[in-house]
Homo-oligomer: A and B are copies of this chain.
Amino acid sequence: MAIGPSPSAGPNLRTISLWAPDNPLGVRHQLLNEEQKARIAKIASVVRFKKGDQIYLRGDAAEAAFNLISGVVATFLNSDHVTAFLYNGDVFGLSEEGRYTNSAKATTSVTAYKIPIHALRRLLSADPDLDVHIISKLCEELRQAQRHAFILAQQHAVARVAMFLELQEHLQAARGEPNSEIFLLMDRSAIAEFVGLSFAAVSRAFRTLVTQKVILLRDRRHVRVADRPALERLADEQSVGNAPRHQPRRPTIAT
């Protein structure tokens, strides 16, 4: 049952290094050593949520942060705009001025470590190494958010869905899961909320991709990429025609 390399149980925080310039492709490092894991585990409790449960609401006093063990969590800014999907190892529930800035909801059934915020705070000041790791993780989430914005900035529905699929595939690979097929853990409506389209538009985009033989749907949740160049072409297809009028469209002076 165990998927991917999980050398030891307990809190889990993996990310891409800030510095190391020599890493095949986006494989993540475990950021916590055994001692740190133990220390966090001591102050954390394991909690469980059913599919659809609200974990916390934006604006609530932030009593705890979470470290996801299994399942998928979606975070929202309001009730129908997904800001991120979170997977094993992800951290959520960081606050601003002591209040949650997102709502979080279980997309599937979920288990997670719950870490009281005051304990986390003590832990951070006690262990200087820990927060460098947290910085890496935050940088990664920041880039994720920017990628999300990038998807949303795409003009065409197919482009958004294509980018979404690439993103999922990439995340799956980064988690070390078998990557011959993309497994979508969320339903069409969650995807729609994430990519900022209606329901129907997502469905149509999938169908378009299928009829153009870019992807194969084994079932509604298992996607196989049949024509990667085409997928990339669709995903990269440039968005809005803010025609650079004066600049004679130099092809981005690559060094």
A192 located at the interface, meaning its Cβ lies under 8 Å from any Cβ of chain B in the complex: yes
Given contacts A146-B77, A199-B242, contact A97 B21 (CB under 8 A): yes
Given contacts A79-B252, A238-B80, contact A101 B54 (CB under 8 A): no
- Find chain B residues with CB under 8 A from A99 CB: 21
**Stoichiometry, copies per complex:** 2
A142 located at the interface, meaning its Cβ lies under 8 Å from any Cβ of chain B in the complex: yes
Stretch at the interface among A42-50, A133-141, A213-221, A226-234: A133-141
A196→B153 contact, CB < 8 A: yes
A97→B16 contact, CB < 8 A: yes
Cα–Cα, bound, A144→B237 (Å): 26
A197 located at the interface, meaning its Cβ lies under 8 Å from any Cβ of chain B in the complex: yes
A143 located at the interface, meaning its Cβ lies under 8 Å from any Cβ of chain B in the complex: yes
A212 located at the interface, meaning its Cβ lies under 8 Å from any Cβ of chain B in the complex: no
Cα–Cα, bound, A125→B21 (Å): 19
Chain A 92-105 interface 0/1 with B at a Cβ cutoff of 8 Å (1 = within): 00111111011000
Given contacts A16-B97, A238-B80, A240-B198, contact A60 B132 (CB under 8 A): no
Name A36-91 residues within 8 Å CB distance of B: 54, 57, 59-61, 77-81, 83-84
B138→A96 contact, CB < 8 A: no
A3 located at the interface, meaning its Cβ lies under 8 Å from any Cβ of chain B in the complex: no
Cα–Cα, bound, A17→B117 (Å): 14
Q: Of all chain B residues, which has the CB nearest A20? A: B97
Q: A135-B135, A145-B146 are in contact. List 5 more A-B contacts (CB 8 A).
A: A20-B98, A21-B98, A80-B240, A142-B142, A152-B153
